[in-house]
Structure 1
Amino acid sequence: MSDDQTSEPERDEATLGRIETEVALLMRLGEATRRATGTAEHRVLDRAAYVILRHLAAAGPQNVSALAARLDLDGSTVTRQVSAMQRDGLIARTPDPSDGRGTVISPTAAGLQRMVAVRAARTRLYGEILGDWTADDRDTLADMLARLNRALEARTRR
């Protein structure tokens, strides 16, 4: 069968296979790029701390349960990460105003400073990697990645 004779279900299956392969490769290369990048700016936060700080900066102070639910992680995992971040001075715990027994977590100035430095370094890195792409191509990639992330997030919320 020639390409123009391929059935739509076969084309869809082939396209979905390509997407799966490219997403797997993206994840592997994204992590490899992060590890291989020589600048210290990329290493001032581990990936988990960066994600937590980005979320807290956007959403505001939260308790561990809300943070774990939003990041789709186990509460004990987030508790360990938050404890390490607190030891490193990246987050602070304060009494929860809505529940005197609990605490809420918020980023410290040092935590926000590191998060901003990592975000800036990553933005520069992607600027270099995508330097020969047109502005329209970069916009399209950003839009499609956002759309994919929304679909993935919706899937995890089922």
Structure 2
Amino acid sequence: MPTPSDMTTDPQSDTSELPGLLDHLQHEVAVFARRAEQTRLGGVGQVRNSMDRAAYLLLNRLDSEGPMGVKALAASMGIDSSTVTRQVAPLVESGLVKRTSHPDDGRAVVLQLSPRGQSRLDEVRASRRELMAQLTEDWAPREREEFCTLLTRFNAALSARHGSGTE
């Protein structure tokens, strides 16, 4: 297991330490994935663990990109249309997402965040934001920014590797 000083070594300057660093990185990613799934990083208080990852990502995408069809939503998230259809069904049933007819093609369905869905998403976001604040409360602002930048870059590399969209 590398020591903290090993983790700051520039991999370009000394490739002999790279395998140990990569072993440490893959282990930490595995631990993070397990802990994130255990808690679903669901926030704090009553909202904690109240929205699963798929629902959160779908609602977030509809909020950021606006109403869209199933195929467009699936493509933007890098998942299959049948998966989106299956994941959206309970969101429609619970009133978080509305299905409407496409204005140009009445046969096509458009998915849209409902006012209730927007309110619920805002509540979950606030709870998760508070959790992130608590988890990083002793970090310097620069460390938070750097972690966010690196995690975004890591996720983008994973998406590119698997040919999927960004969540």
TM-score bracket for this pair, using the shorter chain length: 0.7 to 0.9
SS in 2 for 1:99: coil
* Aligned residue number for residue 46 of structure 1: 52
TM score, norm. by length of structure 1: 0.86
Q: How does 1:41-80 map to 2 (within 5 A)?
A: 41-80=47-86
* Aligned residue number for residue 145 of structure 1: 151
Give me the whole-angstrom Cα distance separating, in 2, the residues matched to 1:38 and 1:54.
Answer: 19
Tell me, yes or no, if the aligned pair for 2:43 and 2:128 is still in contact at 8 Å: no
Aligned counterpart in structure 2 of residue 96 of structure 1, from 92, 99, 102: 102
Structure 1 residue runs of 5 or longer lacking an equivalent are: none
Moved over 3 A (4+): 7-10, 34-38
Shift of residue 85, structure 1, vs aligned partner: 0.6
* Aligned residue number for residue 3 of structure 2: none
Query: What does the per-residue CA deviation read over 1:43-92, in whole Å, with 9 as the maximum and x for residues that have no partner?
Result: 44222111100011011111111212222222222111111110000000
* Aligned residue number for residue 37 of structure 2: 31
Tell me, yes or no, if the aligned pair for 2:42 and 2:49 is still in contact at 8 Å: no
Instruction: Among all aligned residue pairs of Structure 1 and Structure 2, give the percentage whose two residues are the same amino acid.
Output: 38
Q: Which stretch shifts more, 148-157 or 78-87?
A: 148-157
Give me the whole-angstrom Cα distance separating, in 2, the residues matched to 1:35 and 1:60.
Answer: 25
1:121 aligns with 2:99: no
Q: Which stretch shifts more, 85-94 or 28-37?
A: 28-37
- CA RMSD across the alignment: 2.4
Query: What does the per-residue CA deviation read over 1:101-149, in whole Å, with 9 as the maximum and x for residues that have no partner?
Result: 2111010011111111111111101111111111111111011111112
Q: Which amino acid aligns with 2:109?
A: T
Tell me, yes or no, if the aligned pair for 1:90 and 1:110 is still in contact at 8 Å: yes
Structure 2 residue runs of 5 or longer lacking an equivalent are: 1-5, 7-12
Give me the whole-angstrom Cα distance separating, in 2, the residues matched to 1:34 and 1:82.
Answer: 19
Q: Which amino acid aligns with 1:135?
A: P
